[in-house]
Structure formats: structure tokens, C-alpha cells
A and B are shown apart, each in its own frame.
Chain A
């Protein structure tokens, strides 16, 4: 009797151990099946990280090549410093010497300008891609670490309007800066491309524009938002999300300091000076372009108007980093936080 019991117990122990082993081997090989392929690109004045999870190596590598082509295309389309053979871009629009009154432009560039003007209206002039002269003045100021004169800034108020009609732009040599929307748009298009070829598991970080697809395991992507006051790259919020865009606008990375005051690169077109309401603003939305535009607008807006905006939108959340001691989040933001 005693021996029989022993046998049963041993068998159960072996069986359990065997199952445990199987489990471990299975989870191990499962992770290996979703092989990870990544690349680092340099376009749009930033570093872009693209990570795909895909079983088929050839497909993944082809996809990464296409992704690079897309970023290159939007880089060229929105480049303000150089012309390219393959079409009309922002540099061309500003510098061209053509006679014609109206210029036909790429439909995507047209769309970007149209959308930007929509947000210009909606934000009561805070989102102003037509004020390239103003951003130029501040770009130079940050490079040379000297404050621009009031006169120089006032002059930028006489900017050329963007006038669009039927796929054409009025050739008035407007100085357009799409820096606050181009990365978000390009990343959105890259996500759409990946979805269209059946790669649904990916994470992209294009200089503060994060877009995540479905998770490579059975969890959600973990995204850390850097603490602007931390000198060692600490994190103040940890966000978990799938199929979302998460975008941060911060003034604490590109800036210069004079007499203890910081001047960053996100300029308020109304005051003509960098905005210092917040150290950073992070937006979570479905659409990477919308998230990019909103993060800039919220960075320029006062907190009350910003909160009202976000609360009035579906599926959009935001967190404002006011100071080391104060961070304000929209009502649904907490659902994304973990730990």
C-alpha cells in the first residue's frame, strides 16, 4: 500500500516537472518566433528608431527599406534648406523664381498645409506653420546663444499667408516651417504602410514621436516619459499602450540660457518668444499627426484652455509637466499609467 502511494506521488511529481519544463521551452521559443528587426535612421533633423516584430526575415528587411524611403520622402518634401530633383518642397516654395502665380504641389504636401491651417484657426493662431521667419530667427539665436533683438522679432510679423486652392498654392514665397507636424505625419504614414503589408507589431520613435502597433507578446508597449528636470535621464511617468501614438513636446532639450533664463525652440507666435509655461507636454492619441500637432499647441496654450480642449476630444489624453512638483494629467490619462 505504502509503496503504491509512493509510486503515485512520484508519477505526479514527474508529470508536473515535465509540464513545467514544456511550458518554459514553449514560452522561450515563442519569444524567438517573433524575431525583432530594427534600424536607426537620420531624417528630419532627428534620429528615428524603427523596430519590427516579424517571423519572416526577408519581409521585415524589405519593410525596413520601404520605411526608410518613406521617411526620406517626407524629409525632402518638408525640407526648408535644400531643393531636390524629384519635386516641389518647402525650400522651393520660398526660393523659387518662377513666373506663374499658382504652383501645383504634391497632394500630401497640400494636405499637410491644409490641415495645418485648420489647426491655425482652431488654436486661434497658436499653431502657425506660416511663421517660418520667426522660427528661423530663434533657430539662429539658439545656435549662436544670443537673444534676437525686438526689432528683428517684430519684423517676422509681416509674414506671407499660405493660400491654397484646388491642389495649388499661391506663389508668394511664403516661408513655411512644418517642423511641428512633419515627423508625426511621416510616422503615421509609416504605420499605415506597415499595417497594409500585414506587419502589425512595431514600435517607432521618431525624435519624440512614438507610434506603437500591437504588442509582440501578450502585453502592451512600455513607454517611459523622461523627467525634464532629471540630469540622469530619470522617468516621471510610465505609460502602457498598444496601437497608439504618444508624442512629447519639450523645451528642455534644445535651448540656450542667458542670465539664468532658458529660451527653448518652441516659439509662441503671439508673444514672438519661446513658451515657458511647461517643461514638457505629452499627448496620447490614435493618430500620430494629431498627437504631434496637439503636443505643440498644448505646449503654447495655458493649462486651463488646454485641459478644456483635451477633455472635449474623444480618445485623446495629455500630461503637462509644469515643474518638478506639479504635473497635471487629463482625466483619462491615468488609465495608461502603470506602477
Chain B
């Protein structure tokens, strides 16, 4: 084995490790899934600047604001507006539930916790 071989092998290992590192990195980046009833209707990348989104709920349009690793409901039609009152959520695995609108928002990514009890 000469020097060039060694360098080549080291390079290959280096690339392999880097590849693995990045593949895991991508899996852990944060995004949100928005469900209407049981159907996934929208996926939002949260690694961007804050942007607004609109989805259809049971009682009308539901307006969301998402980005910077967080998401919130800003406007919806419901008797108590519980989900817009909840404000931003930023923890992976956390959810916003708009019960009357049957909209569920779940923060995905590498989870710090499996579920939140409230």
C-alpha cells in the first residue's frame, strides 16, 4: 500500500462519514404536518422565515404562521379560539389541535419527547 492508496482510503471514509452525518442531519430538521380529519393536507418546512399559510377546516379557513422553527394558528372560526390562543409551539412532537375545525398540527423532526400531556 503506498501513500496515495492510504490517502484515497481515508478520503473515502471521510466522505462516508460526512454522508451519514448529513443524512441524519436532514432527518432531524424541523417541519410541521397539518392534518384535516385524518388526512395530511400540508407539510411546512420550519427552517425558513416566518410565512403565512391557509388551510380549510370544518368551520372555515384556518390561517397559520410558520417558520423559524415554530408554528401557530393566527385566525380560525370556532367558539372559543383555543388553538389560536395557544400561540407558537416549537417543541418537536408538540401539537396544536383545533377541535371544532378538526385540524391537527404536529411538529416533526428529531423528537426531544415522544408526547406532551396536558
Indicate if the CB atoms of B113 and A223 lie closer than 8 Å. yes
CB nearest neighbor in A for B112: A222
Is the C-beta of A186 less than 8 angstroms from some C-beta in chain B? Answer: no
> How many whole Å from B90's CB to the nearest CB in chain A?
8
Q: How many residues of A contact B (CB 8 A)?
A: 42
Is the C-beta of A309 less than 8 angstroms from some C-beta in chain B? Answer: no
A210 to B113 Cα, complex, angstroms: 13
**Neighbouring B residues of A17 by C-beta, 8 Å:** 13
Indicate if the CB atoms of B17 and A210 lie closer than 8 Å. no
Residues on B facing A (Cβ under 8 Å) = 1, 6, 9, 13, 16-17, 20, 23-24, 35, 37-38, 79, 82, 86-89, 91, 94-95, 97, 99, 102, 104, 106, 111-118
Partner of A225, one of B17, B88, B117: B117
> How many whole Å from B70's CB to the nearest CB in chain A?
10
> How many whole Å from B83's CB to the nearest CB in chain A?
11
> How many whole Å from A255's CB to the nearest CB in chain B?
10
Indicate if the CB atoms of B88 and A39 lie closer than 8 Å. no
Residues on A facing B (Cβ under 8 Å) = 7, 10, 14, 17-18, 20-21, 24-25, 28, 39-42, 45-47, 49, 51, 143, 203, 205, 208, 210, 212, 221-226, 231-233, 235, 238, 246-248, 250, 253, 282
**Neighbouring B residues of A10 by C-beta, 8 Å:** 1, 6
CB nearest neighbor in B for A31: B27
> How many whole Å from A321's CB to the nearest CB in chain B?
11
A-B contact pairs, 21 of them (CB 8 A): A7-B1, A21-B20, A24-B17, A39-B38, A40-B35, A40-B106, A45-B99, A46-B99, A47-B99, A47-B104, A51-B114, A205-B116, A222-B111, A224-B115, A224-B117, A225-B116, A231-B87, A238-B113, A246-B117, A250-B118, A253-B118
Given A40-B35, A203-B114; 6 other pairs, CB 8 A cutoff: A10-B6, A47-B104, A143-B79, A208-B118, A223-B113, A248-B117
A203 to B82 Cα, complex, angstroms: 25
**Neighbouring A residues of B97 by C-beta, 8 Å:** 47
**Neighbouring A residues of B16 by C-beta, 8 Å:** 21
Indicate if the CB atoms of B102 and A42 lie closer than 8 Å. yes
**Neighbouring A residues of B113 by C-beta, 8 Å:** 222-224, 235, 238
**Neighbouring A residues of B87 by C-beta, 8 Å:** 231-233
A233 to B89 Cα, complex, angstroms: 7
